[in-house]
A and B are shown apart, each in its own frame.
Chain A
């Protein structure tokens, strides 16, 4: 059960559904996934 898992694992689990095409995950210290203003 995720209810008993560390919050970091639950966040990671949810973030799997936040693909770079949709939403960018924000984690302290992580390398930024930069979105381009141009060339889309």
Chain B
């Protein structure tokens, strides 16, 4: 099969802001989701749960972890937290053009037509490193694409070894299919490397990465990696979504470092609203 446009980066419009309040809610929500559900974090990970505190408070977390714990997990929060943020933002209405492009490329690459039948969708966090992936296998019946004409027989394996799952639903039949991908929140350039894909699932057909470049673009390209066409979406590090998530993490670190009684001058009113909710 030959594919036009292989390896050519195409800009995408990604502006997930309808209201600033909901936009910032997504950032804070995603950061806290990562803290709560990402079980590979050094703190809290599953440490508090093992102590019998499943539903811990921020005060309990701060009290039980080393003083600089958030500094120690900052890079991991940047990386894995972007996975949670992406799921939230991709489920927002303004992200629809990105979703349509993704689905359109899947259709083109596999010469199928999803969108006449599968007209509803939702993104979910996947991966064995996230407790949010529990029960994900109950939300769809099969995985896209078939390989060599056969359906995937080991759905749990694919869930464990992917970061994000797009579930497409046929509203008439309630039939659902899972489409899996990878997310790299720090070293987004790695999604273009052969070595990256050598370790990934054969059912991961897309990846989203945030790199460290100065620019503020989002683009996508199709590359043939390890026997499969993969759709690669890249956020440059200067994109406001990436920058705003970094700001969110910066201030959460500040809060853990100084405690809830700290007085801060937050210039953005909507940002400050959620910052103060944490106190």
Contacts and interface: CB of A to CB of B under 8 A. Distances in A.
Interface residues of B, number: 54
B157 interface: no
Contacts of A17: 21-22, 25, 274
Nearest to B18: A22
What are the nearest 4 A-B pairs in CB distance? A22-B22, A24-B91, A34-B120, A17-B25
B81 to A, nearest CB: 14
A4 B57 contact: yes
A16 B131 CA distance: 22
B187 interface: no
Interface in B226-266: 260
Dominant SS at the B interface?
helix
B35 to A, nearest CB: 7
30 contacts: A2-B278, A3-B58, A3-B59, A4-B59, A6-B55, A7-B32, A7-B56, A7-B57, A8-B55, A10-B32, A10-B58, A11-B32, A14-B25, A14-B274, A17-B25, A18-B88, A22-B22, A22-B26, A23-B25, A23-B29, A24-B91, A25-B29, A28-B131, A28-B132, A33-B91, A33-B122, A34-B121, A34-B171, A35-B120, A37-B115
Interface of A: 1-8, 10-11, 13-15, 17-19, 21-26, 28-29, 32-40
Nearest to A37: B119
Dominant SS at the A interface?
loop
Nearest to A33: B122
Contacts of A21: 18, 93
Interface in B36-91: 36-37, 55-59, 61, 84, 87-89, 91
